Amino acid sequence: MSKTKNIIDKSEYDVLGLLPCPIKVPVEIGFDDMINDLGNECDFKYLLEGNANYEVMWMDESSHVPSKEELPKVIISAGVNSFYRKDFRTKAIEEKYFKEVKCKNEAFIKSDLYDKDGNYYIMSLNYLVMIVDLTKLNNRNIPKSWSELLDSQFKKEIAIRGKKGKYCETTLLAIYKDYGIDGIMKLKELVGYGGHPAEMVKNAGKGVEDAPTISLVPHFYAKLLRNNKNVKIIWPEEGAIVSPVTLLVQKGISENLEKVVDYFTSQEVRDICKKASLPHPSDYLEYLNENNYKMNWIGWDFISNNDINKLLLELNTYFYSN
């Protein structure tokens, strides 16, 4: 495993993909096969890594917005990160940093997940559900929705990803979008645990005293508990909270880099993502339809109308304050 770094020199690479851990290895295998096929024609520098191995600062909190030349030509990034902040989006869209990545699936194109402006391509989705430790329930009702969870009596018994004043951005943004600051303050009172989802599922259903009763985790981790009779997985009535894995492609790239884009948007990668419960939007929409589930995505209008980075700093301050 690669040694953890604090900051990657982004301009050093033509292709930089920081992938969710469940898909990192199989995607990298196929990518390496493509590189081997290119042989001596491979004329670009690349790095594919699991996003948990790197604490990447795509952009610092200064007013500097990177130019096209300061960024890789092909980027994969997980979560609602600095690429979604208002000043970057404004400059990147006005100066036409990125080109539209074509998709033929009509359901995806017509959905709220598709960026109608053609700058951001969501290639995969991570989605958060609840896992409930039945051994710690003590005859209390199981929340069936995010609304019921916020109004529940599970004070300091809830776990979410993150710690030390930096919590799961998609959870905070989704709760704020639907319930405002009041919802954030309610969630703050409920959360007593933070960390990595792997830690949350480790003790679930075992009656461990110092462990959460309810954890908000990606479905990939939740499904590891599907045969545990002491755990119940809840798909909230308002929908699982969606977090995007985004593909950004600069205009005017070389033919070989187009082959990289073709690989990342291929059926092979789509199948890998689907198997890992990190589906392409087309597969996710089909899954929702089959199960009569709702989608819970903050949406492009919310992203356009808010300064995401500043909002997250504010929400984390509310959330972490005494």
**Chain segment 40-54, per-residue pLDDT in tens:** 888 899 999 876 544
| Residue 50 near residue 17, CB atoms below 8 Å | no
DSSP string, 266-290: SHHHHHHHHHTT---HHHHHHHHHH
Decide: 103 and 121 in contact? Cβ < 8 Å.
yes
Beta strands 121-133 and 240-249: pairing type?
Answer: antiparallel
Task: Quote the distance between the C-alpha of residue 313 and its chain's center.
Answer: 18
Cβ partners under 8 Å of residue 208, min gap 6: none
Q: Does domain 127-240+316-320 match CATH 3.40.190.10?
A: yes
State how far the alpha carbon of 84 is from the alpha carbons of 4, 59, 121, 231, 245, in Å. Answer: 24, 11, 12, 35, 12
pLDDT value of position 10: 67
* Residue 318, pLDDT score: 85
Q: From the CB of residue 5, how many other CB atoms can be counted at a distance below 10 Å?
A: 12
pLDDT of 188:
94
| Residues 6+ positions from 145 with CB-CB distance below 8 Å | 236, 237, 238
Q: What is the pTM of this model?
A: 0.90
* Identical topology for domains 10-125+243-299 and 127-240+316-320: yes
In the chain, the amino acid numbered 35 is I
Radius of gyration of the chain (CA): 20
Q: In whole angstroms, what is the distance from residue 218 CA to residue 315 CA?
A: 21
> For 247-272, how does the pLDDT look when each residue is reduced to its tens digit (9 = 90+)?
999 999 999 999 999 999 999 999 99
- At residue 99, the pLDDT reads 95
Domain 10-125+243-299 has CATH 3.40.190: yes
Rounded (10°) CA dihedral 123, 167, 68, 32: -50
pLDDT of residue 291: 96
Say if CB 243 and CB 80 are below 8 A apart: yes
State the pLDDT at residue 219: 94
Pairing of strands 121-133, 214-218: antiparallel
Domain boundaries of the chain, sorted by first residue:
10-125+243-299, 127-240+316-320
Q: Point out the residues of the chain with pLDDT beneath 50.
A: 1-6, 53-55
